[in-house]
């Protein structure tokens, strides 16, 4: 599945309004956050909320977490820097060699995880892990998830 991000505006308070588009399915407005110390791809200016993805000067084993309430469940997102200098090959066969690798877990879903490779030059370039879908009162169904940067237009 292709995902297209389009930056709509950059606010003075560091929040970035982004159009998240899934061709043929639809779009949604999301927020990122960035300042001189960190970048967050999950953010909400209304709630003054942000979940740090990577810091400007990351440290190995740096860990941060955030507790949220969603659909009656308390969930703790936890992110840990597991590598400071990863390389990843993109579909066009080019290599990105300056990646920080961040491992994400969520307390409410024990099989869920994401490994996120963040390039200091290009941003998020690769995500691999286990996602989930949950319908009604059924147990969560887990699936493999993978996102790869296929092009950049900045």
pLDDT digits (tens, 9 = 90+) for 101-116: 999 999 999 999 999 9
Q: Specify whether 141 is located in the same domain as 72.
A: yes
DSSP secondary structure letter of residue 152: -
Q: 68 and 50 in contact (C-beta within 8 Å)?
A: no
Q: 112 and 129 in contact (C-beta within 8 Å)?
A: yes
Our count of domains for the chain comes to: 2
Domain that holds residue 110: 58-154
Which range is least confidently modeled, 14-28, 46-60, 82-96? Answer: 82-96
Q: Specify whether 134 is located in the same domain as 113.
A: yes
Q: Specify whether 13 is located in the same domain as 77.
A: no
């Amino acid at each position: 599945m292709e995902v297209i991000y389009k930056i709509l505006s950059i606010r003075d308070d560091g929040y970035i309004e982004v159009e998240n588009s899934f061709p043929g399915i639809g779009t949604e407005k999301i927020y990122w956050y960035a300042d001189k110390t960190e970048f967050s791809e999950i953010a909400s200016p209304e709630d003054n909320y942000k979940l740090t993805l990577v810091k400007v000067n990351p440290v190995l084993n740096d860990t941060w977490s955030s507790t949220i309430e969603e659909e009656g469940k308390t969930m703790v997102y936890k992110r840990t820097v597991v590598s400071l200098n990863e390389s990843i090959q993109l579909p066009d066969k080019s290599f990105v060699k300056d990646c920080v690798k961040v491992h994400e877990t969520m307390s409410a879903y024990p099989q869920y995880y994401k490994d996120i490779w963040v390039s200091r030059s290009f941003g998020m370039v690769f995500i691999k892990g286990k996602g989930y879908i949950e319908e009604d009162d059924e147990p969560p169904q887990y699936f493999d998830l993978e996102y790869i940067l296929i092009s950049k237009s900045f």
